[in-house]
Structures are given as C-alpha cells and as structure tokens.
Amino acid sequence: MLRYAAGRLLAALPVLLIVSLLSFGIVWIVPGDVAAEMAGPTATAEELARLRERLGLTRPWHEQLVGWYGALLQGDLGESILLRQGVAAAIVERLPVTLSLTFTALAIAFVAGTALGTLAAVRAGKAADRAAMGTALIGFSIPDFWLGLVFVYVFAVVLGWLPTGGYVPFATDPLGWARSMLLPAATLALAQMGLFARMTRAAMLEVLQQDYIRTARAKGMPGWIVVGKHALRNALIPVVTVAGIACGVLLGGAVVIESVFSLPGVGRLIVGAIQRRDYPVIQGGLLLTATIFVLVNLVVDLLYATLDPRIRHGRR
Amino acid sequence: MSLISVRDLSVAFGGTRVLEDVSFDIAEGEVLGVVGESGSGKSMTALAIMGLLPMGGTAAGRIDFEGRDVLALPEREMQRLRGARMAMIFQEPMASLNPVLTVGEQIAEVLRRHRGLDRRAAHAEAIALLKLVEIAAAERRVDEYPHQLSGGMRQRAMIAIALACRPRLLIADEPTTALDATVQAGILDLLRGLRRELGMAVLLITHDLGVVSDICERVVVMYAGRVAETGPAAAIFDGPAHPYTRALLAAIPRLEGPIGALPAIDGVVPAPADFPSGCRFAPRCAHARPACDAAPPPLRALPSGTAAACIRAEEIA
C-alpha cells in the first residue's frame, strides 16, 4: 500500500511541474504588452516602466523562470496589483470558502447519487427506478445558476429558512457555516448527483449479476447486507474514479455559484482578476486550482486501492 | 425418514418450463449424485431447493426439508435456513467469492449471522474452519483476499463458508469442474472425509460419472428437465435401464481394454422452448419408436433395481 501511494505521488509531480510552467507562461502567451494591458490606456510611460520593473518583465526570460520557481518554493506567488496584497495571502483568505463549497457539494452529490443509483438498480424496471433516474436526469439538465436563483427565492426569500448568501466561517459558528453552505452546495451538487446516480446504477446492475452475490444470498444474508455490503463495495470502485473528475467540474462550477450566492471565494477572486487583467492573481489561481485537482485525484487513487485489494497488491 | 423430499418439482420462466415432475429423496447423511449434460436442469433443481432461482423463475410442487415445505416458506424464514441448515458451493470458486472482502470476513459473516458469534470468536472459528478444509497456514490465509489464493484453495474456502454452521444438507454444484485434475481429487477427498466426519447429506451435481461412482450412494440421471433414471449407484452402473444412462456410461473413457473410438451421444440437449412433447430423449435415441413421441414416459420401477422413464426399458436391456 505504501509503495502504491508513493508511486501515485511521484506520478503527480510531472503534472504539477507542467501546470506551474503553464502558469508562468501565461504572461508570455497573451498577445501584446502585459504591462500595458494591466496599467490601462491612461497610464504614462513612466508608470508602465515602473510596472514592468515590478513584474520583473525587464529581465531575460530564464532569469524570470528561475525567479518564479524560487518564489514559488517559498510560497510566494507575487503581488496583486489591484488588491495591494500578496497573491498567496489573497488566496489563503478565500480558500476556505471555495473548499467548503466544493467538498460539501461533493459529499452531497456522492451520498445522494449513490443512494439514488443503488435504489434504482435494486428496483430496476420498476416505478422507483424510473423515479430515481428521472430525478437524476432533471438534476443533470437544470442549469445551476438558474436553480441557485430559484433556491434563493424559495428557501431564503419566501420561506426565510436560510440566508440568501454570504459566508460564515466554520470556526466562528459551525451551525451558521452549515446554513450558509446548504443552498449553494446543494445547487452545485445537483448535476453531479445525477452523474453519480447513473454511474452507480450501471455498476450496481452489473455487480448484482455476479456469482458472489448469489453466494452471499446462499449464506442466508438478508437483502440489505447483500446490497449494502457485498454489492455496493464492488459497485463503488468505478464510481469513486468519477469522483475525481466530478471534483474538477465542481471547482469550475463554484465560480458561478460563488457569484450567485455572493460568497467571497477563490472563484470570484479569479473572475475579478481576469476582468481587471491582474495577471499575478490569474497565475496563482490557475496554479492553485490545478494543484487541488491533482491532490483530489491522488486521494481518489488511494481510495480506489482501499476499496479494491487487487489494486493494492499490484494486480489487474 | 428422509432429510429432504422433492415431489413433482417444476420450474418455469414465463411460459417456458425448464424443469418438470422432478422427484427424489435424500436420507440423513446420504450422498446423492445428480448427473446429466449441460442444460438438463441439474443446477436449476439445486437453486430451487435453496430458494435462489434467477429472476423470473417460479417453482411449483413440494420440497420438504426437515419437515417443512421450503417452497411455501417466506423469504425471511428461508434466509435462516440458507447457510445454516442447507448450504451450497458452486462451480467457479473465483467468481463465487467476493473480491473485496477477506476470506476470513466471508466465513466470519456466516458465523455472526447464524451462530451469533462476536467478531473475535467468529475470526477464531474462521481459522479453525480453514484448518478443517486443510488449508495450510490458515492463520495467514484468513486475512488474505480471494485473488491471493489458488483455485483449489478458493474452493476449499468456499467449502469452509458452506460448512461454517454444520448444515444438514450440502449442495455441491459441479465443485471440481473448473479445477485441475490433481486438485479435483483433493477436493473430492476432502468432501468425502468431511461428510463422514460431520454426517451431513450431500447433493452432488456433476456430469462426471467417475465422480459419482466414487462417492455417491444413489444417483438421479436428468435429461432436458426431467428425471430419466434413478436408483442406487451400484444398480445404475451395473444395469442401466434408460438408453440415455447407457449412452452416458458408454461415453466414459476406460483405461483398460483396447483403444477405440469413444462413443458420443449425437446431438445436444434441446433448449427448453424446443422440448419434445413425448419422451424428450427420443430424437437422440437409437431405440426410439413412434410410441415414444406420444407422451412423456413415467418413471417405472424395474427388476434391475432402478426406476427409469422409458417405455422400452425391458426390451432393450
């Protein structure tokens, strides 16, 4: 298991290297003069020169690259021009919001999706199956920004059960945190829940045909143990693989949801930075999002091995 | 009194009857062999007894086990019998074990469910059971996964699961078919020894008549969903009355005597939808007469000591 984990970790390193190179290269890829774009049309030549100096654009590219990695290794992502704040500090400040949102949504999508998919598979062809798959399809097809607005209207404006938006840190008020997360996370989760439900149903239907399910029944195991223990653990193996990809989609979707629910997260930081051409923030945001994605998939790989002993032992 | 008594068992999927009028008894501690080609309904009979018919299958008739008709028992009651009073092992030991659970967990689970053992006691008993089925280094194997075991060891582990609660009836559905010849002999020796030791009855499904002559006391020969012939193993081997039984016996390769062409039975078992209305073996039978197609022949007791479903049994003997 330890060797497997180390192997997965080593395999993740080249990806991180490429991502960091891409982040560095953004400044070179955009057409025109980055400094001119950042400073805007009213900037004087003197201001432009100062900005170039600050961004290090006056040095040769290889020096800039060495400087970029040198700073990166010290956790320094540069200075945001508009926020008058270090990029790393700006991201760290907003990261809890985005991580809360993404992982709460992932949890909701996974739990509800696998439950729905299992129900559908066990009752395949019956009314419960059609109802569960119908729910999954609806979840799949509704645009999240629209659903978010409907949720806000119904649960916050009309019923007044939950806040319309804003973020409460977990450390100051756990209940308030949960209340602030519920609507945005549910909104974000719905589409992925549909995905998990369909994946689980397909995997479950296949597993329920297997001989070892018949063995479990021949042992006199009650139906809920046959399904919940013998079948589900096997059916979850492909579903967990998808969780890594779903996490990437959720991170992307968080950008929209943060705007709808006015959550001060990394997504809104990056969108703002793109609008105002705050390149250091864009670079840092890209690097961070990609790193989270790589880490999540690393966790997925480890989870995968926990579920399937054949992978742990390097077979198959 | 017999441990299990199957009376006029039939199994249908929709309008298709795959099993018809199957009757036999197994006494306490007796080994009954059920033989026949693929598609003759052997496994379906076993699954009907266990209450594990595939989706859409319905059974009719009576199966009295320890005095209760299992076909009439609610599922909850059946769950208490399965794995405890009657147990089953299958043909493919790899596919029949859950790949993500340790061998020990798969044994211990039965002990916790039916014998109410706690986690520790069940684990210890699982090791004892692995020793009973003669798996070496049982203390280590108990925490391994099925893919870490050889084919023979997996089938031994399956047997350990089946025997965990000392069932009165063990159904073994072609337990050695998927294994190497040397491993087969080991598994059969084990089953023979365990059956003597534990005094349980065994329903052994096989298409290998050599295995039958080895360990079975009585035999049921099945063809296309019906019983063709039944009787004591010795009588079946010495004086087979049904042409199908005779053909099966003739198809066994012999080590002694001249080497010649091995007689095979022409054709295959028809699919259930194509079962003939009369004697189902008639289309493949060398002795068939027009009368054979009239109605399915009933089982008749014969002087040779067996009962056969053939109207010409005396003439061709």
From A29-43, A104-118, A248-262, B281-295, the region with the lowest mean pLDDT: A29-43
Nearest by CB to B99, from A214, A216, A234: name it.
A234
- Residue B115, helix vs strand vs coil: helix
CB-CB under 8 Å, A309 with B96:
no
Domain that holds residue A257: 91-312
Structure tokens at A124: 């395949």
- B20 touches B145 (CB < 8 A): no
Domain co-membership, A118 together with A64 = no
Domain co-membership, A191 together with A82 = no
Torsions phi, psi for A31 (to 5 deg): -70, 150
A79-92 tens-digit pLDDT: 777 777 888 888 88
Domain limit, last residue, from A44, A59, A87: A87
Domain limit, last residue, from A87, A108, A123: A87
d(CA A55, CA A79): 9
Q: Which residues in chain B touch residue A214, judged by CB atoms under 8 angstroms apart?
A: 52, 90, 96
Q: Is A209 on the interface with B (CB under 8 A)?
A: no
What pLDDT, on the 0 to 100 scale, is given for residue B262?
67
Look over chain A and give the mean of its residue pLDDT values, rounded to a whole number. Answer: 85
B226-274 tens-digit pLDDT: 999 999 999 999 888 999 998 888 877 766 666 666 677 778 888 888 8
Look over chain B and give the mean of its residue pLDDT values, rounded to a whole number. Answer: 89
> Quick one: what percent of chain B has pLDDT higher than 90?
56
Q: Is the predicted pLDDT of residue B31 greater than 80, yes or no? A: yes
Domain limit, last residue, from A47, A65, A87: A87
Mean of pLDDT values over A38-53 = 77
Looking only at the bridges linking them, the beta strands covering B169-173 and B218-223 are unpaired
- A77 touches A222 (CB < 8 A): no
- Smallest CA–CA separation between B138 and chain A, in Å? 19
What pLDDT, on the 0 to 100 scale, is given for residue A61?
77
- B214 touches B207 (CB < 8 A): no
Mean of pLDDT values over B11-35 = 92
CB-CB under 8 Å, A230 with B80:
no
Q: Which residues contact A136 (CB under 8 A, 6 or more apart)?
A: A113, A116, A117, A120, A193, A194, A195, A197, A198
Nearest by CB to B113, from A218, A220, A313: name it.
A220
A267-298 tens-digit pLDDT: 888 888 888 778 888 888 888 888 888 888 88
Domain co-membership, A187 together with A216 = yes
Q: Which residues in chain B touch residue A306, judged by CB atoms under 8 angstroms apart?
A: none
Domain co-membership, A15 together with A81 = yes
d(CA B159, CA B197): 14
d(CA A220, CA A125): 25
B39-71 tens-digit pLDDT: 889 999 999 999 999 888 999 999 999 989 999
A155-214 tens-digit pLDDT: 888 888 888 887 888 888 888 888 888 889 998 998 899 999 999 999 999 999 999 999
What pLDDT, on the 0 to 100 scale, is given for residue A303?
86
Residue A145: band (very low, low, confident or very high) from pLDDT cuts 50, 70, 90: confident
Q: What is the CATH number of the domain that holds A111?
A: 1.10.3720.10
A98-107 tens-digit pLDDT: 988 999 999 9
Domain co-membership, A149 together with A40 = no
What pLDDT, on the 0 to 100 scale, is given for residue B218?
93
Q: What is the dihedral of CA A56, A57, A60, A66, to 10 degrees?
A: 40
Look up tokens 């799949």; give the residue. Answer: A140
- Smallest CA–CA separation between B184 and chain A, in Å? 21
Domain co-membership, A221 together with A170 = yes
Domain co-membership, A101 together with A57 = no
> Quick one: what percent of chain A has pLDDT higher than 90?
22
Domain co-membership, A15 together with A96 = no
Number of domains in chain A: 2
Instruction: Spell out a b/e string for A226-258, using b for 16 or more CB atoms within 10 Å of the CB, else e.
Output: bbebbbbbbbbbebbbbbbebbbbbbebbbbbb
d(CA B240, CA B231): 9
- A218 touches B83 (CB < 8 A): yes
The sheet with strand B226-232 has its strands ordered as B86-89, B169-173, B201-206, B31-35, B218-223, B226-232, B307-308, B300-301
Closest CA to B35 of B27, B43, B23: B43
Mean of pLDDT values over B75-100 = 92
What pLDDT, on the 0 to 100 scale, is given for residue A45?
80
Domain co-membership, A160 together with A114 = yes
User: ipTM above 0.90?
Assistant: no
Structure tokens at B88: 């089953």
Look up tokens 């209340």; give the residue. Answer: A179
What pLDDT, on the 0 to 100 scale, is given for residue A316?
43
Domain co-membership, A59 together with A101 = no
Domain co-membership, A108 together with A141 = yes
Structure tokens at A299: 């966790």
CB-CB under 8 Å, B52 with A221:
no
What is each CA distance from A280 to A62, A267, B23, B111, in whole angstroms?
18, 15, 83, 63
d(CA A82, CA B150): 67
Radius of gyration of chain A (CA): 24
Domain co-membership, A206 together with A268 = yes
